[in-house]
């Protein structure tokens, strides 16, 4: 509930005592308002606050005049005791009640003095002017945005659209079948409803926010060759802010009925879902065939059991110096490298084992009863001697490429920048003895599914996707993403993301936009430590100079490399 000054609190207390929503027992009752009317409680509520006079009749169906509205809003906003400005109106006599309230209302910005010097106190007020006055009185303006789009269709382009949008999201009005009807006249009962809702949360309408899902993914535009409009809000009345080509891939942030909320060039918008297919569900063309999944069963992860394992696992040292730290809550040990093989024990999260050898997705380990096999995806492999990156299988994914250049500015494209940095990371990792796998080493196009399948098919142990951002000129800085929705190695992904992020921010002196959990395709469809790095914003002048510079490409590459070194150096 809004805070009232003491002058109003006393009367509000008695109003709430005498009027309980759903069961009103006011001390008095307007003779022309039956108890079954939807506005019965609200009218008596504002009457108890002395916003309207307690009289025999309320005349709920009468049209509201400007004088009535001015008086009610001045009192409802607790401004009736302010000094009366010496405003002159040609149609109001100074010292009268109408003049006093009109002067106060104009001074407070609820109404404007007419161009001819009049106030027009007896003129009926329309809903648009009422919306503006209510918004000013209760500070309910709301900028129209993707998060809070204009839900009342007939207010599009109206000079009071922002104010009425505030009333909608403030729970004051939902209009009539999606329209506000700005040119209709307002009745006294309607105004009583609006004022009561603005004053008291008890009477507010439940706000119908855009029904967005939390699922994010990437979708491909499928129009048969036509352009697809990107609009400001989920309706054909939304302004067109961008056009997508057939075959474009966009990030989907949520769904609002048939409309998809997307991120395009760092900005939000809406497209119609019937003209898209989620990446990975469309039928591939001859030059866009997805790589086959590796021939391996479901991950060897089981839920922890209450009872102790039948066999205590006592690893014996191996000569390789390679240790595996379990990243799953419970991991099966198999007799042979097969999911159909007998389970001979279990390992718990954080437990370490000496690794004898690696073969594809399987790690051979020593146990007290001999050797066993565990699924490598659920181990963080740590070298106890030599370079921590030696032998590690790391995928470096240069974002975009080929027909998908990504964002661009001044002829500098995202695909060019990411490949430049990725190759420098590759060189460093190779010198450290890592097995580096590049999803692309030239200006070629790969689907998102091909990138993640490439990692799985090559038994990757970590995955780093490199990108650059674009938004408003003011947006700048580095952010690194991981996924906790489907990636079973979310905790390890977050650790890797933090290491890389901190190094970039410090080494390249970038604004810190944080480490974020988001369902980007290439991180949520991976099953190892996977991160997506947004180096900076091409749309920002300061970031652009760095992103376009080979000097900073070296700095970014070194920072990513150091992040990987630090991640694999920790037990």
pLDDT tens column, 54-70: 888 999 999 999 999 99
CA–CA separation, 121 and 100 (whole Å): 12
pLDDT band at residue 211 under the 50/70/90 scheme:
very low
Closest listed residue to residue 478, CA positions, set 466, 489, 487, 490? 466
Residue 454, CB-side half-sphere exposure with 13 Å CA sphere: 20
Q: Average of pLDDT values for 47-52? A: 91
Closest listed residue to residue 104, CA positions, set 77, 128, 125, 124? 77
pLDDT band at residue 261 under the 50/70/90 scheme:
confident
Which carries the bigger pLDDT value, residue 433 or residue 151?
A: 433
What pLDDT shows up at residue 326?
Answer: 92
Q: Which range among 7-16, 19-28, 151-160, 374-383 has the greatest average pLDDT?
A: 374-383
Identify the helix (H) or strand (E) that includes residue 71: helix 66-76
Q: What is the DSSP string of 45-69?
A: HHHHTTSS---S---TTSBPBHHHH
What pLDDT shows up at residue 176?
Answer: 81
Domains, the chain, ordered by start: 6-203 (no CATH), 217-278 (2.30.30.40), 296-385 (2.30.30.40), 393-569 (3.40.630.40)
Q: Out of 124-138, 317-331, 473-487, which region has the weakest mean confidence (pLDDT)?
A: 317-331
CA–CA separation, 122 and 118 (whole Å): 11
What pLDDT shows up at residue 174?
Answer: 87
Which carries the bigger pLDDT value, residue 210 or residue 305?
A: 210
Identify the helix (H) or strand (E) that includes residue 395: strand 393-398
Q: Is the pLDDT confidence value at 242 over 70?
A: yes
Which carries the bigger pLDDT value, residue 131 or residue 28?
A: 131
Q: Is the pLDDT confidence value at 311 over 70?
A: no
What pLDDT shows up at residue 210?
Answer: 52
What pLDDT shows up at residue 320?
Answer: 64
- 180-205 burial code (b ≥16 CB/10 A, e <16): bbbeeebbbbbbbbbbbbbbbebbee
pLDDT band at residue 25 under the 50/70/90 scheme:
very low
Q: Average of pLDDT values for 384-396? A: 92
pLDDT band at residue 217 under the 50/70/90 scheme:
low
Residues 6+ apart with CB under 8 A from 129: 111, 160
CA–CA separation, 456 and 115 (whole Å): 72
* Verdict on whether the full-model pTM lies above 0.75: no
Closest listed residue to residue 58, CA positions, set 73, 71, 70, 68? 68
Q: Is the pLDDT confidence value at 155 over 50?
A: yes
- Mean pLDDT rounded to a whole number for the chain: 83
């Amino acid at each position: 509930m809004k805070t009232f000054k003491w002058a109003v609190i006393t009367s509000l207390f008695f109003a709430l005592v005498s009027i309980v929503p759903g069961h009103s027992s006011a001390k008095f009752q307007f003779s022309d308002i039956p108890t079954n009317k939807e506005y019965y409680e609200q009218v008596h509520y504002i009457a108890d606050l002395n916003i309207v006079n307690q009289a025999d009749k309320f005349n709920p169906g009468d049209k509201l005049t400007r004088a009535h509205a001015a008086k009610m809003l001045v009192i409802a906003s607790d401004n009736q005791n302010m000094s009366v400005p010496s405003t002159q109106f040609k149609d109001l006599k100074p010292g009268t009640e109408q003049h006093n309230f009109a002067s106060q209302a104009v001074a407070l910005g609820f109404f404007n003095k007419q161009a001819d010097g009049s106030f027009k106190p007896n003129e009926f007020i329309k809903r648009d002017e009422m919306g503006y006055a209510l918004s000013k009185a209760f500070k309910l303006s709301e900028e129209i945005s993707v998060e809070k789009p204009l839900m009342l269709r007939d207010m599009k382009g109206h000079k009071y659209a922002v104010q009425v949008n505030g009333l909608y999201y403030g729970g004051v009005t939902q209009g009539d079948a999606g329209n506000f009807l700005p040119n209709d006249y307002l009745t006294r009962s309607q105004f009583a409803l609006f004022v009561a809702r603005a004053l008291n949360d008890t009477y507010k309408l439940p706000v119908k926010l855009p029904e967005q899902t939390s699922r994010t993914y990437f979708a491909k535009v499928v129009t048969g060759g036509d352009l697809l409009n990107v609009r400001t809000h989920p309706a054909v009345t939304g302004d067109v802010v961008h056009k997508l080509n057939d075959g474009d891939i966009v990030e989907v942030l949520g769904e609002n009925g048939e409309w998809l909320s997307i991120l395009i060039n760092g900005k939000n918008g809406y497209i119609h879902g019937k003209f898209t297919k989620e990446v990975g569900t469309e039928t591939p063309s001859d030059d866009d065939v997805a790589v086959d999944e590796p021939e391996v069963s479901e991950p060897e992860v089981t839920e922890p059991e209450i009872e102790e394992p039948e066999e205590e696992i006592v690893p014996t040292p191996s000569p390789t110096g390679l240790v595996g730290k379990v990243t799953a809550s419970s991991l099966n040990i198999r007799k042979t490298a097969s999911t159909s093989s007998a389970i001979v024990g279990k390992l718990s999260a954080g437990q370490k084992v000496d690794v004898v050898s690696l073969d594809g997705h399987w790690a051979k380990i020593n146990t007290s009863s001999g050797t066993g096999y565990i699924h490598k995806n659920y181990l963080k492999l740590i070298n106890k001697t030599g370079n921590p990156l030696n032998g590690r299988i790391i995928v470096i994914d240069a974002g975009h490429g080929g027909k998908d250049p990504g964002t661009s500015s001044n002829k500098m494209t995202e695909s060019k920048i990411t490949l430049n940095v990725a190759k420098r990371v590759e060189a460093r990792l190779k010198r450290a003895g890592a097995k580096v796998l590049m999803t692309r080493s030239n200006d070629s196009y790969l689907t998102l599914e091909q990138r993640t399948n490439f990692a799985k098919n090559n038994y990757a142990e970590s995955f780093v996707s490199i990108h650059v951002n674009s938004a408003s000129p003011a947006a700048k800085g580095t952010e690194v993403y991981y996924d906790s929705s489907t990636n079973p190695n979310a905790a390890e992904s977050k650790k890797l993301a933090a290491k890389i992020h901190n190094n970039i921010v410090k080494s390249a002196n970038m604004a810190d936009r944080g480490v974020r959990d988001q369902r980007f395709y290439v991180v949520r469809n991976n099953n190892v430590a996977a991160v997506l790095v947004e180096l900076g914003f091409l749309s920002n002048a300061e970031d652009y100079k760095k992103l376009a510079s080979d000097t900073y490409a070296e700095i970014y590459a070194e920072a990513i490399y150091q992040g990987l070194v630090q991640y694999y150096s920790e037990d």
